[in-house]
């Protein structure tokens, strides 16, 4: 169980997006302040926690970093179920990844927590010379769909803390997100549906 | 109640026997270190003697063999004996419910002068209800059946022991005492690591007295493994044999031993629960202890005519392994043991976490060139593939040999192929590889623009190869050509098996193979062979992974019920936290060299095709305590598991996994349904 201090608001956050867009790098930048050019691919999923003070309260992010490849899509619901927030990442130097991001947003709208705070992150903002997705296009899309939008660079750290801060600000405060106990329950119902081998 | 009657000791033949042989009684433990007892002419001295210490060959309290437990000091060494009483004539009279035990059973369980150097640990059980007992685990991993102290006195026994041998309470479990009577602290610590060289020659030699029992069986096995022994290990032939019998960890016997080990502990637990129930009944009618006192008799230290050596001289009576007999006698129990989880919980739960070395065989040095040559006939056939697989299972392969050996393990080369056949195959395959590779190489940029699937696949692969093992010298630096080879091979594979295509994780599997093969075509074909087994891991519907995770959960249920219960309660039974372990065969959990070692062991399919699942169980079991105590939920557990990366000791885990695999025994089939990767979906037995 997450140890929640009096003012800690636990917030489950999931990162989604095409593989190689920089999801793991964003988490690593946010949680450890590091960046690796050869950040290894994510197999299965990874879990991190990081706290972030916002005004009087402190958000405790419980971050799920997922494997991006379409092949592993069927595992994604397990991770976004019950999430209070999601960051959908695309790579500004790759149009396909933006297309894929929009698909993720749709899926979250359909199957995610209805109050979920969704952020769209245009990552690798440092690669200005190879830019394929214009910020205006993404911004418009985000506005139309009620998403938070930021361009980020895990490499230079541009926009990374801001991204998480914005999300923390938008988390419902009066009605703190479910503690992880509830999330586990949520997940279980999902798993019971998707697999049938829980004999006991 | 009927059962309670069984404990009325006044007409207990065992008790009567003990009276006849003099002594019995709770005061006995007074005879400690500076014994008043006589010193035998040959230098043996009884430093402790305790009557009414019993073994229960079955779970019924009525089937009890009582005897006398003694500690005997001879020269500088301490020995333990437990000799059952001679049956009295009145045995069984008027005891309708009593099962008569044949004389040979009594002898069977006799413990004849076990040197304390052979005892690894003693676990004591001193429940408030029921009888106290101890379980002795030998350094070989073998355990004696529980010795029940019907008159109490486990504490005194340990206190006496402590005066003669080096006894440390396990830091992890206050009821476990590690035994080591070596004087030199360095040797002590070496011994606790179970290095054969830690056995001091002097100590061994001192046991070559009439006290040492003589075993003549099982020599052939010892011979074949003799290469791996330290030569300082058997100072004299006669002793050497006996010592090896108990200590030689490389012998095949340990497999049986493990089975028995688990059996014994299960047995102990059943017996205990039975006894507990019975003693509770007993408690209600006045309490066992009080009755005991009535029958206690004065101390008697005198050992008439040294029954120990007497017994030992009678070779016909010597039975090598008391546990072996349990297994035979209770064939049914054996089955029962195998179907029950927690089988070996009693002993292992705490101990194994700390000292996994009690289990499994010691690992061997990797297979080297000279030994490898002995597996081949003149034409290059591997004569005995099973022996080879076994050898590699226990030690792996020297790096320089991997290129050759892996091709067999992966099934790319057949074991019975000749040098010539392999050479021919290689040439054929090389051109076949070029043909497939050419298929994608010939796609022009213009064509690629209209070939989304190809473009997408290529980009996936390119994204992954540049971040695969770049810290390994073989792949590091900008523009490293080996990274390009990874890409070419993976792209060619995605044409070779277009339906499977490329999937994240594949680059991890290919990387060590290319590193070992140092040849594009050969690496490709070895990868193809590996994918034949592991391909289902990457199926879109995740079926291959699901079936393995399911098998894993069944195995944990069977092999580690406390963990299973916890995971069920924590709603973690999907075992997704082991996803990465299974998907890429622990590639991310070990440093490069260790990964290669593990893989060649797994690929032998020696004990099981699914040895990787036992690896999972072994690791989880090792951390079970922490997982449960910290009440990890799914998130925390996944984080914890991911962070174990590079903190797992490979060799110890392999040993544990081996033990678990053996314990699972016949139940493997029930836990792991056919077709679970890496089993081939159709007919199995590919390697036999
Ligand atoms: N230039 C640049 N490269 C990045 C950035 N973020 C990630 N990368 C690189 O993109 C590759 C994929 O990153 P990763 O975090 O593994 O992506 P994921 O598959 O979405 O988790 C890695 O080689 C990273 O070094 C960024 O902001 N700028
Ligand atoms: Mg990642």
How far apart are the CA of A42 and the nearest CA of chain B, in angstroms? 8
The CA–CA distances, whole Å, from B116 to B77, B207, B467, B653 equal: 8, 10, 55, 28
The better pLDDT of the pair A51, A75 is held by A51
pLDDT, chain B, mean:
72
Phi-psi region of B585 (alpha: psi -120 to 50; beta: other; left: phi over 0): left
With 0-12 / 13-18 / 19 or more C-beta atoms within 10 angstroms meaning exposed / middle / buried, residue B520 is buried
Q: Which residues of chain A are at the B interface, by a Cβ-Cβ cutoff of 8 Å?
A: 1-2, 19-20, 38-49, 62, 64, 67-69, 71-72, 74-75, 78, 96, 180-181, 184-185, 187-188, 191, 195, 197-198, 200
Q: Residues A132-175: pLDDT tens digits?
A: 999 999 999 999 999 999 999 999 999 999 999 999 999 886 44
Model confidence at B88: pLDDT above 60 = no
The better pLDDT of the pair A141, B141 is held by A141
Mutation for B interface: A25, A62, A71, A73, most B CBs within 10 A: A71
**pLDDT on residue B542:** 82
Collapsing DSSP to helix, strand or coil, B133 comes out as strand
Out of A19, A48, A198, closest to residue B460 by CB: A19
Of all protein residues, whose CA lies closest to atom 11 belonging to ligand 1? A20
The better pLDDT of the pair A36, B126 is held by A36
CB contact under 8 A, A187 and B571: yes
Per-residue confidence band for B355, with pLDDT thresholds at 50, 70 and 90: very low
Residue A93 Cβ < 6 Å to ligand 1: no
Model confidence at A199: pLDDT above 50 = no
Model confidence at B321: pLDDT above 50 = no
Residue A153 Cβ < 6 Å to ligand 1: yes
Least confident residue range of B79-83, B260-264, B290-294 = B290-294
CB contact under 8 A, B579 and A19: no
Model confidence at B601: pLDDT above 90 = yes
Per-residue confidence band for B22, with pLDDT thresholds at 50, 70 and 90: very low
**pLDDT on residue B541:** 81
Residue A179 Cβ < 6 Å to ligand 1: no
Q: Residues B188-236: pLDDT tens digits?
A: 343 333 333 322 323 333 333 333 333 434 343 443 333 333 333 333 3
**How many angstroms is it from A20 CA to the middle of ligand 1?**
6
CB contact under 8 A, B635 and A69: no
Per-residue confidence band for A78, with pLDDT thresholds at 50, 70 and 90: confident
Enumerate residues 6+ apart whose C-beta is below 8 A from B374. Answer: none
**pLDDT on residue B573:** 94
**pLDDT on residue A162:** 96
Alpha-carbon distance of B684 to B680, in angstroms, equals 6
Collapsing DSSP to helix, strand or coil, A86 comes out as strand
- Residues of chain A found within 8 Å of residue B633, distances taken between Cβ atoms: 1, 180-181, 184
Domain with CATH 1.10.8.270 in chain B: 418-537
Model confidence at B358: pLDDT above 70 = no
**How many angstroms is it from B251 CA to the middle of ligand 2?**
46
Instruction: Name the closest ligand to CA A89.
Output: 1
CATH code of domain B13-26+42-243: 2.30.29.230
Enumerate residues 6+ apart whose C-beta is below 8 A from B602. Answer: B585, B611, B612, B615
**pLDDT on residue B518:** 97
Spans of all domains in chain A: 8-173
Enumerate residues 6+ apart whose C-beta is below 8 A from B476. Answer: B470
Closest chain A residue by Cα to residue B640: A47
- Residues of chain B found within 8 Å of residue A180, distances taken between Cβ atoms: 633, 635
Residue from A147, A39, A44, A171 nearest B470 by CA: A39
- Residues of chain A found within 8 Å of residue B579, distances taken between Cβ atoms: 43-45, 75
Domain with CATH 2.30.29.230 in chain B: 13-26+42-243
Collapsing DSSP to helix, strand or coil, B614 comes out as helix
Residue A37 Cβ < 6 Å to ligand 1: yes
Instruction: Name the closest ligand to CA A69.
Output: 1
Out of A1, A43, A185, closest to residue B631 by CB: A1
Residue from A64, A71, A77, A80 nearest A26 by CA: A64
Closest chain A residue by Cα to residue B549: A197
Q: Please give the number of the atom of ligand 1 that sits closest to the Cα of A123.
A: 27
- Residues of chain A found within 8 Å of residue B453, distances taken between Cβ atoms: none
CB contact under 8 A, B639 and A47: yes
Q: What is the rounded average pLDDT of the residues A186-198?
A: 31
Model confidence at B76: pLDDT above 70 = yes
Residue from A39, A93, A30, A36 nearest A62 by CA: A30
Mutation for A interface: B464, B469, B504, B543, most A CBs within 10 A: B504
Q: What is the rounded average pLDDT of the residues A110-129?
A: 95
**pLDDT on residue B148:** 85
Least confident residue range of A134-148, B36-50, B113-127 = B36-50
Residue A124 Cβ < 6 Å to ligand 1: yes
Most confident of A4-13, A154-163, B215-224, B274-283: A154-163
Out of A49, A75, A180, closest to residue B542 by CB: A75
Residue A20 Cβ < 6 Å to ligand 1: yes
Answer yes or no: pTM beyond 0.90.
Answer: no
The H-or-E segment that residue A52 falls in is strand A45-54
Least confident residue range of A133-142, B358-367, B607-616, B634-643 = B358-367
How far apart are the CA of A45 and the nearest CA of chain B, in angstroms? 8
- Residues of chain A found within 8 Å of residue B540, distances taken between Cβ atoms: 71, 74
**pLDDT on residue B142:** 66
CB contact under 8 A, B503 and A71: yes
**How many angstroms is it from A19 CA to the middle of ligand 1?**
9
Least confident residue range of A169-183, B113-127, B571-585 = A169-183
Q: Please give the number of the atom of ligand 1 that sits closest to the Cα of A40.
A: 16
Where do runs of H (alpha helix) occur along B110-251? 154-164, 185-192, 201-206, 219-224, 237-247
**How many angstroms is it from B635 CA to the middle of ligand 2?**
17
Most confident of A33-47, B255-269, B511-525: B511-525
**pLDDT on residue B193:** 35
Q: What is the rounded average pLDDT of the residues B462-481?
A: 95
pLDDT, chain A, mean:
84
Per-residue confidence band for A6, with pLDDT thresholds at 50, 70 and 90: low
**pLDDT on residue B170:** 72
Contact B179, B166 (CB under 8 A): yes
How far apart are the CA of A160 and the nearest CA of chain B, in angstroms? 22
CB contact under 8 A, B504 and A62: no
Q: What is the rounded average pLDDT of the residues B143-169?
A: 82
Number of neighbouring beta carbons within 10 Å of residue A55: 8
- Yes or no: domain A8-173 corresponds to CATH 3.20.20.70: no
Instruction: Please tell me the class of the B418-537 domain.
Output: mainly alpha
Q: What is the rounded average pLDDT of the residues A33-54?
A: 92
**How many angstroms is it from B631 CA to the middle of ligand 2?**
27
């Amino acid at each position: 169980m997450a140890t929640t201090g009096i003012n800690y608001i636990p917030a489950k956050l999931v990162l989604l997006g095409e593989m190689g867009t920089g999801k793991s790098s964003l988490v690593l930048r946010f949680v450890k302040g590091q960046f690796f050019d050869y950040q290894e691919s994510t197999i299965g999923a990874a879990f991190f926690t990081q706290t972030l003070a916002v005004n009087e309260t402190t958000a405790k992010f419980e971050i799920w970093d997922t494997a991006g490849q379409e092949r592993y899509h069927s595992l994604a619901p397990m991770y976004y179920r019950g999430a209070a927030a999601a960051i959908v990442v695309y790579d500004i130097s790759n149009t396909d990844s933006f297309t894929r991001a929009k698909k993720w947003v749709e899926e979250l709208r359909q199957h995610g927590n209805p109050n979920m705070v969704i952020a769209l992150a245009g990552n690798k903002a440092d690669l200005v010379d190879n830019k394929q997705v214009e910020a205006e296009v993404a911004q418009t899309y985000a506005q139309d769909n009620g998403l938070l939008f930021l361009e980020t660079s895990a490499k230079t750290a541009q926009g990374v803390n801001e991204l998480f801060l914005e999300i923390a600000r938008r988390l419902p405060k009066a009605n703190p997100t479910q503690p992880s106990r509830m999330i586990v329950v949520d997940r279980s119902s999902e798993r019971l549906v998707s697999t049938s081998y829980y004999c006991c | 109640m009927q059962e309670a009657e069984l404990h009325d000791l006044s007409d207990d033949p065992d008790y009567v026997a003990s009276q006849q042989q003099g002594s019995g009684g709770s005061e006995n433990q007074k005879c400690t270190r500076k014994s008043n007892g006589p010193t035998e002419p040959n230098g043996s001295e009884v430093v402790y003697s305790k009557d009414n210490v019993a073994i229960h060959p079955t779970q019924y309290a009525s089937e009890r063999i009582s005897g006398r437990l003694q500690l005997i000091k001879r020269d500088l060494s301490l020995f333990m004996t437990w000799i059952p009483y001679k049956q009295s004539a009145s045995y069984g009279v008027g005891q309708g419910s009593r099962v008569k035990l044949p004389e040979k059973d009594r002898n069977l369980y006799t413990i004849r002068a076990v040197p304390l150097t052979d005892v690894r640990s003693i676990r004591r059980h001193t429940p408030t209800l029921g009888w106290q007992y101890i379980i002795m685990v030998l350094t070989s991993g073998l355990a004696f059946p529980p010795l029940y102290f019907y008159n109490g006195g486990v504490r005194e026994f340990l206190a006496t022991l402590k005066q003669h041998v080096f006894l440390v309470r396990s830091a992890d479990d206050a009821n476990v005492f590690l035994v080591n009577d070596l004087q030199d602290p360095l040797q002590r610590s070496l011994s606790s690591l179970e290095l054969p060289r830690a056995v001091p020659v002097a100590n061994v030699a001192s046991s070559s007295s009439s006290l040492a029992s003589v075993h003549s069986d099982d020599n052939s096995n010892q011979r074949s493994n003799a290469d791996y022994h330290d030569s300082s290990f058997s100072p004299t032939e006669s002793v050497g044999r006996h010592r090896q019998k108990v200590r030689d960890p490389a012998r095949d016997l340990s497999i049986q031993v493990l089975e028995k080990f688990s059996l014994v502990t299960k047995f102990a637990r059943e017996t205990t629960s039975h006894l507990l129930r019975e003693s509770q009944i007993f408690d209600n009618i006045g309490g066992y202890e009080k009755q005991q006192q009535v029958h206690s008799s004065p101390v008697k230290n005198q050992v008439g005519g040294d029954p120990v050596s007497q017994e030992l001289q009678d070779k016909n009576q010597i039975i090598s392994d008391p546990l072996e007999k349990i297994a035979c006698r209770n064939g049914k129990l054996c089955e029962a043991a195998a179907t029950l989880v927690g089988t070996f919980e009693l002993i292992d739960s705490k101990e194994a976490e700390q000292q996994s070395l009690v289990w499994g065989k010691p690992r061997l040095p990797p297979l080297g060139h000279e030994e490898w040559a002995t597996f081949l006939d003149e034409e290059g056939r591997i004569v005995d593939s099973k022996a080879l697989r076994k050898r590699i299972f226990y030690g792996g392969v020297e790096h320089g040999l991997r290129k050759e050996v892996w091709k067999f393990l992966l099934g790319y080369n057949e074991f019975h192929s000749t040098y010539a056949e392999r050479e021919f195959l290689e040439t054929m395959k090389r051109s076949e590889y070029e043909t497939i590779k050419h298929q994608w190489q010939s796609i022009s940029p213009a064509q690629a623009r209209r070939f989304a699937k190809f473009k997408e696949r290529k980009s996936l692969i390119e994204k992954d190869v540049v971040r695969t093992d770049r810290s390994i010298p073989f792949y590091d630096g900008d523009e490293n050509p080996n990274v390009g080879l990874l890409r070419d091979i993976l792209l060619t594979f995605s044409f070779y098996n277009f339906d499977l295509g490329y999937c994240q994780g594949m680059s991890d599997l290919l990387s060590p193979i290319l590193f070992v093969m140092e040849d594009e075509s050969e690496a490709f074909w070895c990868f193809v062979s590996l994918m034949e087994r592991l391909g289902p891991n990457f199926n879109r519907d995740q079926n291959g992974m699901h079936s393995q995770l399911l098998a894993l959960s069944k195995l944990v249920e069977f092999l580690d019920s406390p963990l299973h219960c916890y995971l069920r309660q924590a709603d973690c039974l999907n075992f997704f936290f082991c996803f990465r372990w299974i998907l890429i065969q622990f590639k991310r959990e070990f440093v490069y060299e260790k990964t290669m070692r593990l893989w060649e062991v797994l690929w032998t399919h020696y004990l099981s095709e699914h040895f990787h699942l036992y690896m999972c169980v072994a690791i989880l079991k090792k951390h079970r305590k922490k997982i449960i105590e910290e009440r990890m939920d799914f998130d925390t557990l996944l984080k914890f598991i991911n962070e174990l990366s590079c903190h797992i000791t490979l060799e110890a885990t392999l040993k544990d996994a081996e033990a678990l695999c053996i314990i699972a025994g016949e139940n493997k089939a029930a836990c792991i349904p056919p077709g679970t990767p890496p089993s081939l979906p159709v007919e199995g037995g590919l390697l036999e």
